């Protein structure tokens, strides 16, 4: 394995984030604070508890997932799309670097950025609520798996997109609505039976539910099913990326 090539790609992507460090750090802090002010205070005054957990605490896992899902997709998609857009991707493809090493470099950097933002959000949330994690290991596992999975998904979007409009359409029209409708700020059990059944078709529900269980042992679906779903999603993304590199789809044109 060409570890030097992985380091170069990884460091380049991390340095690009370093140039916008203030924006990268300030954005999650400000947005998290606003969510707590609007949802935690305004709605929390009307909904005191959900399944024995105060509303302010209940929204922390969903709020974290909302941010890391969008950030993972955005970081990974732009990271691979920009070299395609400028044509510098051909230098990478012609270098003695395997597709696996390219994938590890780009997705690893996007995952690292999302993990940092997730930790910042949890740290910010601790200033508003008395945050305790009952199962730290599983919380870290869900966090890492989610960041890797959606960084892979973002990598696929970046390879697929042929312009900046296509780069934004899936995160805006698919990812964000799925997160908001995936029980991020409410329990699915609060919905009518029909909409509970519909919600089970939303893959984000399983991520949010499993992550929330690691905090409070409260979940809308089985933790085992949540873990299974995220692993399946990760494997599907790996298969798609492997097919793209093998066929050169949207990569070698």
DSSP assigned state of 44: T
Q: Is residue 104 domain-resident? A: yes
Closest to 129 (Cα-Cα) out of 32, 14, 2 = 32
Q: Is residue 132 domain-resident? A: yes
Total domain count for the chain?
Answer: 1
Q: What is the pLDDT of residue 170?
A: 85
The answer to whether the CB of 109 falls within 8 A of the CB of 9 is: yes
Q: Is residue 253 domain-resident? A: no
Q: Domain range holding 7? A: 3-247
Q: Is residue 252 domain-resident? A: no
Q: What is the pLDDT of residue 44?
A: 61
Q: What share of the chain is helix, strand, coil (3-state, %, to 5)?
A: 75, 0, 20
Q: What is the pLDDT of residue 154?
A: 93
Q: Is residue 53 domain-resident? A: yes
List Cα–Cα distances, 243 to 83, 156, 238, in angstroms: 20, 11, 9
Q: Is residue 42 domain-resident? A: yes
DSSP assigned state of 1: -
Q: What is the pLDDT of residue 45?
A: 62
List Cα–Cα distances, 233 to 8, 50, 148, in angstroms: 28, 29, 10
Strand (E) or helix (H) holding 53: strand 53-54
Q: Is residue 23 domain-resident? A: yes
Q: What is the pLDDT of residue 125?
A: 87
Q: What is the pLDDT of residue 18?
A: 77
Q: Is residue 170 domain-resident? A: yes
For helices 136-160 and 99-125, what crossing angle results, to 10°?
130
Q: What tens-digit pLDDT sequence spans the chain (253 residues)?
A: 778 888 988 998 888 777 776 666 777 778 777 877 777 666 666 776 788 888 888 889 988 998 899 889 988 999 899 888 887 888 887 888 888 999 999 999 999 999 999 998 898 888 888 888 999 999 999 999 999 999 999 999 998 988 888 888 888 888 888 887 888 888 888 888 888 888 888 888 999 999 999 999 988 888 999 999 999 999 999 999 999 888 888 776 5
Q: What is the pLDDT of residue 163?
A: 84
pTM, two decimal places: 0.90
């Amino acid at each position: 394995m060409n570890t030097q090539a992985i380091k170069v790609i990884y460091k380049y992507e991390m340095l690009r984030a370093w140039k916008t460090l203030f924006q990268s750090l300030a954005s999650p802090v400000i947005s998290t604070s606003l969510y707590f002010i609007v949802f935690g205070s305004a709605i929390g005054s009307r909904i005191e508890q959900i399944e024995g957990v105060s509303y302010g605490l209940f929204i922390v896992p969903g709020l974290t997932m909302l941010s890391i899902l969008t950030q993972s997709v955005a970081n990974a998609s732009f990271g691979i799309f920009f070299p395609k857009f400028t044509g510098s991707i051909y230098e990478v493809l012609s270098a003695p670097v395997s597709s696996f090493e390219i994938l590890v470099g780009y997705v690893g950097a996007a995952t690292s950025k999302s993990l940092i933002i997730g930790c910042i959000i949890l740290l910010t949330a601790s200033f508003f609520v008395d945050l305790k994690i009952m199962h730290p290991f599983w919380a870290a596992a869900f966090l890492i798996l989610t960041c890797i999975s959606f960084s892979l998904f973002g990598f696929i979007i970046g390879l697929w997109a042929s312009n900046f409009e296509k780069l934004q359409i899936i995160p805006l029209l698919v990812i964000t609505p799925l997160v908001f409708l995936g029980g991020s700020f409410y329990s699915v059990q609060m919905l009518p039976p029909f909409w509970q059944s519909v919600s089970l078709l939303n893959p984000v529900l399983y991520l949010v539910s499993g992550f929330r269980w690691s905090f409070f042992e409260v979940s809308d679906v089985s933790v085992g099913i949540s873990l299974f779903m995220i692993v399946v999603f990760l494997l599907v993304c790996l298969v798609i990326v492997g097919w793209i590199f093998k066929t050169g789809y949207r990569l070698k044109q």
